[in-house]
Structures are given as C-alpha cells and as structure tokens.
Structure 1
Amino acid sequence: MGKVAFVFPGQGSQTVGMGKESAEQNETVQSYFNRADERLGTALSKVIFEGPQEELTLTTNAQPALLTTSSAFLARLLEEGINPDYTAGHSLGEYSALVASGAVSFEDAVYAVRKRGEFMEEAVPAGEGTMAAILGMDRDVLQAITESVTNEGNSVQLANLNSPGQIVISGTAKGVEIASGRAKEEGAKRAIPLQVSGPFHSELMKPAANKFLGVLDEITINNASSPVIANVTAAPVTEAEEIKRLLVEQLYSPVLWEDTVKKLLELGVDTFVEVGPGKVLSGLIKKVNRRVNTFSVQDEASLSETIAKLKAMKEDA
C-alpha cells in the first residue's frame, strides 16, 4: 500500500441532514456540531440537520457546515488509527485539511470560515459576479480567452482547474458571459452557468482577502504535522507563515485541483479518502488517474466500510 491522502470537499457538497445519523449514534461526531454552535453562538447544527436547503446553501452557513461535518468524520478516522500522509481540500475544504494536519484548531477554523463566507458575500453586490464551468477546453486556450476579455474591461479569470477538461471561470456577470461565448466558439463542448452567490477565486475577491487577513491574525496557525497541498501552488506546505499567506491569496487565486492530485500521485499517494459529504472529489481524482483507490466517508455505513478496507490494505502491505 502506498501513501494515503485525506481530501476534503468544498462548497456545493452540502446537503440537509449531513452527519445527522452519525451524530445521533456517536458522541465524538455530536461533539463537533456542539462545538461549532458554541464557537459561532448560533444553532448551526439545526440548519445542517433540518434545513431548509436555501439557508444551508448560504455561503456564510455552507462553509462552517461543511467544515464541521468533515471534521467530525475526520475525528472518527483518527480515533481508529487511520492517519493521512498528506491532506488537501478544494477551496473551503483546505481548512478541513489544515484541521487534519494540526495547523489550525477546529474552533479557530470554524470561526475563520464563517468570517470568510461573510466577506466573500460582501465583496461583490448580488448579481454582479458569477461563475461558469467550461467543459472540454485546454487551460491555455481558456486562459488566453479570459485574459483578452479582462483586458477589454470585463474582469474574468480561471477559478477552479478541477480535472482534464473541466475548468470553472469566475468574474463579472458580463465577463463570464462573454468568455463563455468565446470558449464555445473556440471549441469548448459546453459552458454551464453555476448557481453561486458570487465570483469566487477571482480578482473581485481581493477586498474580501484584505479583510480576511485580520481574521487570520486573530487565530492561531501552527506548523502542520503532515504536509498540506495548497490550492494556490499545488505544492506541499507545512510552515505556519506560508500557510497564512496562501490562505489570503486563495480567495482570489485559482484552485489548482488537477495539479494537486498530480502532485499527490507524484509523492506516492495511491489511496485517497474523501472525508465529508458527496463524492465530487473522488470523481475528479478518477479523471486524473482511474487506477487509484478512492474512498468516500459521509455516513456510518461508508465510514465503517472505509475503516475496514483501509485496515485490511494496511495488513496486506
């Protein structure tokens, strides 16, 4: 058995009721939802367990909700002696990865991502910015399109480089619309507008990044005990100061997810455990390399199955 990476999903993977069954059956899991409520001073767990979906989907709720759910399942894996060699997370998921690697405490992380969500919501008035997924286009061609549209006065950038042929662009509503049209003219298979509340990971998020630096000054960031592959660089990071700098840059920089997966493969990872709701990252990982092992931990059944299989793989190794 090669090395193991824990990967953590980002915004969009949230569903009403996530973690509820596990919280009812397990005190460790329940304790995370309690700790989140306490640190934020609100009944976040009620929104997670009961909804409504519209309320859970608000950036300010979705971010701490996903972090809490992922951290609770992470705690169960660690209790079973299953530890990652590396961690990584998609955008918001990077904070769960930092909790997993001991760089940030759960309480500090849940507070930081609530603030991050608030600042992201405030950065651009509703309706002025958006995102779209461009399918079946080379990143260099799309990069050239977004640069020319931006130079013409309608800001748009590459936001998520998810897997071969799946790239999300982000910017002003006009910029995204023009770039989507040009991408299709130049051979993209599809351009799909995303239901998001803002132009995340674009230059328009710089005001949020400036405010967010103040939040990161309030919390404690330690050196990571296991390397985290950063979204901004797709390279391992362990130093506290570098972690902090990259978290600020992450708000307005592209998420290099495909490159992150390739870096983990290069480092000898052959087993990826997606910790938290959904299987989005497992799907993206398989598009990069379909031979690797992927596991998804999102409820009691998948948790038990993953623990059993990982322990068996360890014994066989």
Structure 2
Amino acid sequence: MSKTAFLFPGQGAQYAGMGRELTEAYPAARRVFQEADEALGFALSRLCFEGPAEELQLTVNAQPAILTTAVACLAVLREKGVPAGAAAGHSLGEYGALVAAGTLSFADAVRVVRQRGRFMQEAVPPGAGGMTAVLGLDAPAVEEICRRAGGAGVVEAVNLNCPGQVVIAGDTAALERAAALAKKAGARRLVPLAVSAPFHSSLMRPAGEKLAAVLADVPVAGLQFPVVANVTADYVRAPEEVRQLLVRQVYSPVRWEESMRRLLADGVELFVEMGPGTVLTGLLRKIDRRAACLPAGEPGGLEKVLAYHGEVG
C-alpha cells in the first residue's frame, strides 16, 4: 500500500482566483473545471477564477468550487502516476476523498455538494445560528461548556480539529452563552466563523434528510482504497456505508484529529492537501509536528509532491 494519503479541505478554504494557475499549467486540471461547468450548467470555473468573492463565499457556490479545485489537483497527480493508499476530507472534503477512491464520479459529487450546500443553508434561518472556533481548550472541556450553555438553546462541539482547537455551533443565544463560558474557563481566543448556519450540529438534521433523498439516486461503487469518514474516524470499506455516512455527516461532529491519528498510526508517511489553501496542513502540524504534509493547490506545490515521489519512487 502507498504510504501517501490525500486530504481534501472543507468550506472556508475558497478564494477568488483559486484553480486558475492550475488550469493554465495542466490540461488535466482544465478538463476537471470544464466537467464541473457542464455538470452544473453554469460557469463555476469563471466564479473560481474571477470571483466576485462575495458570490463565491455563498455556501451553495463555495462547496462545489472547493471540490472542483481539489479534484483538479487530484487529476494532475493521477496523470503523473502519484499513488495514494488512503484519503480523508474535512466536511464537504469527504466527497473529494470518495471521488479519489473511485466511489463517486466527479460529476455526481459536484452536483450533490451544490444541493448539499443549499440544504444546509436553508435548514436554519439567516442569523438564527452560527459557528465559533474555541482556541486553547481541549475537547472534553468544550463539550462540558456546551452542556452548561444548552439551556439557552442548541450548542454543540462540531469540529474536533486538533489539540486546542474545537469549533462549536448552534442557536445564536446558546452560542454566545457558550463563548462567554469558554472565555471564563480560560480559552485563549474565540473566533466567530464567517458562516451563516450552524453546520454539523443537530440543527442540520433537516438538511441531512433532504440530502438522503438525493444520494439515494447516486451510483456508489467499490472503494479502490480506504477513506476515513468524519463521523466515525474509521475507514469506510463497503460502498453500502457511503450514503449513510454522508447523510449523518451533515448533522454530526467532524472528528478530524482522530481521523488523522488513525492514518498516522497506520503508517502514512506523506499527506498531500488537495485544493485551495493550507488549513489541513496547519491542523496536521498541530496534531503531530513530525508529520509531512505538502499542499498541492498551486503548481508550485504540485511540483514539490511530484519531486517527492520522484525521489522515493
């Protein structure tokens, strides 16, 4: 088995201009953007390359845009013969991991995540909920704070990202109460996230139910290599698990730190972060500073991945 794992980022990694240099440098990347435009029926590529940023940040656009940029990176590495033994994706990034493993076609995945984004946005009225990153407290402490703040509404620990970084989500009043308790408990910093809904909280269950109906019609093939699921922090090995886990993922915590520790324990030596940004590279360094992770969202990063495999291959 290859000791390389591909990682796919979630919402928040988007920026205007992403993917443009990839498509200029690699025909394989350009073909992925063309496929996305055809699958969605509008010029997603133009939105990625040119913005405007306000439109790109909308959940319904950001999710397919990030997935497309990540799969464009994947297409280049595949064409160059870079192997992977496993994959994982943060939130919507799990769709990219499943595309990499051959479980979902890219055209199906990009259509599903656009609808997923719409369902998640519609599940809670604008301004009624949100998300906040709590820095400097461990997960058990944050979970206890959420329990104490629960009298004001729903608030839950939803992204268990790395030591000292837990994202909470829920009703606005409960979120504010939890943030105040976290500050009192010694949190180093509280960072409200630029999202308009409490993703991965139980408030997203209606979105999960709508997504289940969409996924029921999507073909799911066998996995060419294991994918670590957000919900379980364990490998998905059978195609019949895929739909169920993707539905649960919408309203369940993302167990990212556990997922990375699973891959590290199983001998992964190199992590390659697909798509825009370096968020997952940063998280991995906080989980294990010895772990090797190369971001591949731009041609320069891709060339470093190719050089690494050229040296060890």
TM-score (norm 1): 0.96
Contact 1:2–1:271 under 8 Å retained in 2: no
1:302 equivalent in structure 2 = 301
Secondary structure (helix, strand or coil) at the match of 2:224 reads coil
- CA distance in 2: counterparts of 1:292 and 1:313, whole angstroms: 17
CA deviations 1:236-272 (Å, max 9, x no partner) are 1121111111100000111001101100011111211
1:32 equivalent in structure 2 = 32
Deviation at 1:148, TM superposition (A): 2.7
2:137 equivalent in structure 1 = 137
1:283 equivalent in structure 2 = 282
Deviation at 1:2, TM superposition (A): 7.4
Query: 1:121-200 alignment to 2 at 5 Å?
Result: 121-150=121-150, 152-200=151-199
Residue range with higher mean Cα deviation, 18-27 or 230-239: 18-27
Query: 1:65-84 alignment to 2 at 5 Å?
Result: 65-84=65-84
Contact 2:28–2:75 under 8 Å retained in 1: yes
Deviation at 1:313, TM superposition (A): 2.3
2:16 equivalent in structure 1 = 16
Deviation at 1:158, TM superposition (A): 0.6
2:58 equivalent in structure 1 = 58
1:114 equivalent in structure 2 = 114
1:222 equivalent in structure 2 = 221
Secondary structure (helix, strand or coil) at the match of 1:77 reads helix
- CA distance in 2: counterparts of 1:200 and 1:112, whole angstroms: 17
Note if 1:103 corresponds to 2:103: yes
Contact 1:225–1:238 under 8 Å retained in 2: no
- CA distance in 1: counterparts of 2:2 and 2:33, whole angstroms: 33
Contact 2:158–2:200 under 8 Å retained in 1: yes
- CA distance in 2: counterparts of 1:153 and 1:194, whole angstroms: 20
Residue range with higher mean Cα deviation, 197-206 or 180-189: 180-189
CA deviations 1:204-245 (Å, max 9, x no partner) are 100000000011012111221100000011001121111111
Residue range with higher mean Cα deviation, 112-121 or 25-34: 25-34
Deviation at 1:185, TM superposition (A): 1.1
CA deviations 1:24-74 (Å, max 9, x no partner) are 232211111111111111111111111000100100000000111100110
- CA distance in 2: counterparts of 1:6 and 1:233, whole angstroms: 18
1:265 equivalent in structure 2 = 264
- CA distance in 2: counterparts of 1:259 and 1:232, whole angstroms: 10
- CA distance in 1: counterparts of 2:78 and 2:55, whole angstroms: 31
Contact 1:2–1:270 under 8 Å retained in 2: no
CA deviations 1:180-209 (Å, max 9, x no partner) are 111111222121111112100001100000
Deviation at 1:294, TM superposition (A): 1.0
Alignment-mate amino acid for residue 157 of structure 2: L
CA deviations 1:150-200 (Å, max 9, x no partner) are 2x1410011101100000000011111000111111222121111112100
Secondary structure (helix, strand or coil) at the match of 1:16 reads coil
- CA distance in 1: counterparts of 2:223 and 2:80, whole angstroms: 21
- CA distance in 2: counterparts of 1:30 and 1:155, whole angstroms: 43
1:201 equivalent in structure 2 = 200
Contact 2:157–2:166 under 8 Å retained in 1: yes
- CA distance in 2: counterparts of 1:192 and 1:26, whole angstroms: 37
Secondary structure (helix, strand or coil) at the match of 2:177 reads helix
- CA distance in 1: counterparts of 2:305 and 2:157, whole angstroms: 34
1:87 equivalent in structure 2 = 87
- CA distance in 2: counterparts of 1:174 and 1:189, whole angstroms: 21
2:241 equivalent in structure 1 = 242
Secondary structure (helix, strand or coil) at the match of 1:134 reads strand
Structure 1 unaligned spans of 5+: none
TM-score (norm 2): 0.98
Note if 1:252 corresponds to 2:245: no
Alignment-mate amino acid for residue 242 of structure 1: E
Aligned residues: 313
Residue range with higher mean Cα deviation, 183-192 or 33-42: 183-192
Alignment-mate amino acid for residue 135 of structure 2: L
Secondary structure (helix, strand or coil) at the match of 2:6 reads strand
